[in-house]
């Protein structure tokens, strides 16, 4: 019964599809949302999606290196969030605004 196998037997594919879906949601948010802070959150979402696939690969290939990578990504993501938020605070102090529509000064 291959039709129920998909639901009962969890394979690497399941995790990868889930990861891809999370990534796409994050990407959509980054592309469409206006609030800079929400965009930052969506970026975190994308990073987490990637982490998930790393862990899944690590699990199904039986190697620990995927987890090491995730460890690094986590740290970098935290750092990125800190810097990004500091920048947003700066921008907010200057413009009193977090809507990305107002930050289109780098026009060609």
Partner 1 sequence: MTADAFIFWFLSLITLGSALSVMLLANPVYSALSLVMTMVGISALFVTLGAYFIAGVQLIVYAGAVMVLFVMVLMLFDLRAELQAFSRGQISGALKLATVGALAGLIGGALLLSAGNVAEPSMAEAAKLPPDASKALGIVLFTRHIFGFEALGVLLLVIAIGTVALARAKGGTHAKH
Partner 2 sequence: MNHSLLMAILLLSPFVGFLINGLRWRKNGPNLAGGIATVAIFISFICSVLLFVDLVSMPQEARRIAVTFFEWIAVDRLKIGAGFVVDPISAIMILVITGVGTLIHLFSVSYMHHDKGVAKYFAYLNLFVFNMLILVLGDSLVTMFVGWEGVGLCSYLLIGFWFTDREKAAAGMKAFITNRIGDAAFLLGMFVLFMTFGTLNLHELNELAPTVAEGSWLGAATLGTLLLFIGATGKSAQIPLYVWLPDAMAGPTPVSALIHAATMVTAGVYMIVRLNAMFIAAPNTMMVIAVIGAATAVFAATIGMTQWDIKKVLAYSTVSQLGYMFLAAGVGAFGAAMFHLMTHAFFKALMFLGSGSVIHAMHEEQDIRKMGALKKYMPITHFTFFLGWLAIIGMPPFAGFFSKDLILEKAFASPLGHPLLWAAGVLGAVMTAFYMTRLMALTFWGKSRVPKEVHPHESPWLMTIPLIVLGFLSVVGGWIGIPHVISAILPGHPANILGDWLAPMLKVPLSDAHHHLDAATEWTLMGISVVLAAISAAVAYQFYVRSPETPDKIAKALGPVYQLVSKKYLIDELYFGAVINPLIRLSKNLWHHVDVNFIDKITYVLGDLVRGGGSLVRTLQTGNMQLYAMYVGLGLVAILSFVLMR
- Residue from 1, 2, 26, 104 touching partner 1 (CB under 8 A): that is 26
Stretch 32-61 residues interacting with partner 1 (CB under 8 A): 32-35, 37-38, 40-42, 44-45, 48, 51-52, 55-56, 58-60
- Residue from 31, 102, 106, 108 touching partner 1 (CB under 8 A): that is 31
Spell out, one character per residue from 58 to 87, where the chain touches partner 1: x when CB under 8 A holds, - when not. xxx-x-xx-xx-xxx-xxxxxx-xxx-xxx
CA atoms within 13 A on the CB side of 69: 15
Residues in the interface with partner 1 (CB under 8 A) total 72
Query: Nearest to residue 33, comparing CAs of 100, 81, 89?
Result: 100
- Residue-wise DSSP of 62-107: T-THHHHHHHHHHHHHHHHHHHHHHHHHHHHHHHS--BGGG-----
Residues in the interface with partner 2 (CB under 8 A) total 12
């Amino acid at each position: 019964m291959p039709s129920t196998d998909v639901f009962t037997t969890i394979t690497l594919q399941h995790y990868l599809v889930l990861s891809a879906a999370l990534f796409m949601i994050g990407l959509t948010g980054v592309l469409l949302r206006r609030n800079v802070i929400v965009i930052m959150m969506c970026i975190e979402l994308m990073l987490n999606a990637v982490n998930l696939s790393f862990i899944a690969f690590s699990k199904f290939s039986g190697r620990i290196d995927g987890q090491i990578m995730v460890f690094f990504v986590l740290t970098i993501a935290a750092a990125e969030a800190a810097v990004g938020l500091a920048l947003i605070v700066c921008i907010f102090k200057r413009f009193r605004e977090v809507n990305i529509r107002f930050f289109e000064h780098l026009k060609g």
